[in-house]
């Protein structure tokens, strides 16, 4: 069926109700745009809140970082001190007479060899030193030192093993110096 309405537009009656035509009005458009504008804000608000909380937490972590580094250093120092304490207690319990053993170390030291550092770790005595010799190369002097220590039964009673960890030649002016590290693994202390 076809309807033809020949009346001018001002006189025509609309067959569609105002509610049916609501979707064509500017008010409908404003409502839809408003809803579409509010929806992203509803989703972005929690994200922004979480981001702000994250920034606050990161700020707290950054403020605590220097204290954490200090605490880490203190813990490392404490571990080192505990290891040294255990080593000294081991010497006091069963490995005594270290004064005599250090005297043996002094006696076994060839001419031209000197110690720059003696370090007592958990189960090791680490000897850092240098050697210079005009008659023999410094490396021979270090080897003679280790052989002299191994030959002393009193020294070896407290030491399981002696090893030369490193040797290197260094030129200091016109003199060649051999720097060395010798590690003495300490023997187990018998339990009392």
Number of domains the chain is built from: 2
One domain, residues 89 and 110 = no
The residue segments making up the domain with residue 75 are 22-93
Query: Based on C-alpha coordinates, what's the Rg of the chain?
Result: 44
Contact indicator for 184, 161 with CB cutoff of 8 Å: yes
pTM listed for this prediction: 0.49
Q: Is 33 helix (H, G, I), strand (E, B) or coil?
A: helix
One domain, residues 136 and 105 = yes
- pLDDT band, residue 18 (cuts 50/70/90): low
97 pLDDT higher than 80: no
One domain, residues 39 and 105 = no
Per-residue pLDDT tens over the stretch 100-138 = 778 888 888 888 899 999 988 778 889 999 998 666 676
């Amino acid at each position: 069926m076809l309807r033809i309405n020949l009346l001018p537009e001002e006189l025509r009656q609309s067959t569609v109700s105002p509610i049916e035509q609501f979707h064509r009005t500017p008010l409908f458009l404003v409502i839809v745009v408003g809803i579409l504008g509010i929806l992203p804000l509803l989703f972005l608000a929690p994200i922004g809140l979480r981001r702000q909380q994250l920034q606050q937490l990161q700020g707290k972590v950054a403020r605590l970082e220097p204290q954490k580094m200090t605490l880490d250093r203190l813990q490392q120092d404490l571990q080192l001190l505990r290891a040294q304490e255990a080593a000294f207690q081991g010497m006091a319990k069963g490995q005594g007479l270290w004064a005599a053993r250090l005297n043996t170390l002094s006696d076994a030291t060839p001419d031209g060899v000197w110690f720059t550092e003696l370090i007592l770790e958990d189960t090791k005595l680490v000897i850092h030193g240098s050697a210079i010799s005009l008659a023999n190369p410094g490396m021979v002097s270090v080897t003679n030192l280790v052989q002299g220590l191994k030959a002393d039964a009193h020294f070896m009673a407290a030491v399981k093993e002696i090893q030369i960890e490193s040797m290197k030649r260094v030129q200091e002016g016109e003199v060649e110096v051999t720097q060395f590290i010798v590690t003495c693994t300490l023997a187990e202390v018998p339990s009392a």
